[in-house]
A = this chain, B = another copy of it.
Amino acid sequence: MRRDIFQAIADPSRRAIITLIAIQAMTPNALAEHFDISRQAVSKHIRILDECRLLKKEQLGREIYYHLDPQKMKEVADWIEPFRELWEVKFNQLDQVLQNLKKKK
């Protein structure tokens, strides 16, 4: 089972779960109410996110509140970061074009 964060965020339901618990820790039941799929399907998504160490559990009685571990999210940011200069260079080039147009006026 390949199980890394990139595979974890590939699924739109899982990205939605991540966004939801980033705002506020939630139980599986509470999460499931936000989706059209079954509670068990949500549970399977949680399991995958958990296996990627994206979650932290806080058990209160029979309820389990799932929190997001933002540190793990950083891995995605770290991978994308080296490409930033590429799209920003492009932006700067456009910037240059616009400045040249200004000067011509």
Q: Interface majority SS on A: helix, strand, loop or mixed?
A: helix
CB-contact partner of A86 in B6, B70, B86, B87, under 8 A: B70
How many residues of chain A get a CB closer than 8 Å to chain B's CBs? 26
Please, which residues of chain B bring their CB within 8 A of the CB of A76? 76, 80
Please, which residues of chain B bring their CB within 8 A of the CB of A79? 15
CB-contact partner of A6 in B15, B82, B87, under 8 A: B15
Q: Does A41 contact B (CB under 8 A)?
A: no
Please, which residues of chain B bring their CB within 8 A of the CB of A15? 6, 79
Q: A53-100: which residues lie under 8 A (CB-CB) from chain B?
A: 68, 70-71, 73-74, 76-77, 79-84, 86-87, 89-90
The 6 closest A-B pairs by CB, nearest first: A70-B86, A10-B10, A70-B87, A73-B83, A74-B87, A77-B80
